[in-house]
């Protein structure tokens, strides 16, 4: 499965790209700025997307809807500065399967991504750690 990292911060984008490149089951990884979503052609490809929300809330929701229109089969991990206990149903309708704070640990991100890829050995309880509450390691 291919993957796309959408993030405005170049260092974070590079880190997420490297994380995905070393994961089993992930093919080519593309990384773009959020504005690059506007250039996507419609595709039914099954792709894993890490989407880092920016500070501009209006742009985030508009770009998320455009992303879902262009790639309706995308499995989206939403990274943001705030966290909800569960992905709201309005986001699930846009292809968002998981949501994490940008401060989540690498181990937690890996576990969520493995679960999104369908790894049955990833326990839901393993995903809960103190990063959920905004602490840093």
Residue 118 belongs to domain with CATH number: 3.40.50.2300
Per-residue pLDDT, 54: 81
What is the domain count for the chain?
1
Buried b / exposed e across 97-111, counting CB within 10 Å, b at 16+? bbbbbbbbbeebbbb
Which of 96, 49, 109, 135 has its CA nearest to residue 126?
109
Q: What domain range is 35 assigned to?
A: 2-133
DSSP output for 42-60: P----EEEEEE--S-HHHH
Q: What is the mean pLDDT of residues 16-30?
A: 94
User: What span, in angstroms and rounded, lies between the C-alpha atoms of 102 and 54?
Assistant: 11
d(CA 49, CA 5): 6
Q: Of 2, 24, 29, give the one whose Cα is nearest residue 14.
A: 29
Q: If you average pLDDT over residues 73-82, what whole number do you get? A: 89
pLDDT at 74: 95
User: Lowest-confidence range among 18-22, 33-37, 43-47, 51-55?
Assistant: 51-55
Q: What would the mean pLDDT of 46-63 be, rounded to a whole number? A: 86
Kindly report, residue by residue over 90-130, the tens digit of the pLDDT: 777 788 999 898 889 999 999 999 999 887 665 544 444 44
> What pLDDT score was predicted for residue 23?
92
Segment 131-137 mean pLDDT = 38
What is this structure's pTM? Answer: 0.81
Gap between the Cα atoms of 123 and 61, Å rounded = 30
């Amino acid at each position: 499965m291919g993957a796309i990292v959408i993030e405005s911060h170049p260092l974070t984008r590079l880190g997420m790209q490297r994380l995905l490149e070393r994961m089993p089951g992930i093919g080519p990884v593309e990384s773009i700025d959020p504005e690059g979503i506007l250039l996507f052609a419609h595709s039914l490809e099954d792709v894993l997307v890490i989407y880092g929300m920016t500070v501009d809330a209006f742009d985030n929701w508009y770009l998320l809807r455009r992303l879902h229109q262009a790639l309706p089969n995308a499995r989206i991990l939403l990274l943001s500065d705030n966290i909800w206990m569960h992905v709201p149903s309005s986001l699930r309708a846009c292809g968002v399967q998981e949501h994490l704070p940008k401060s989540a640990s690498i181990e937690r991100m890996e576990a969520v991504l493995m679960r999104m890829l369908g790894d049955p050995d990833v326990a839901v309880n393993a995903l809960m750690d103190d990063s959920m509450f905004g602490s840093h390691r």
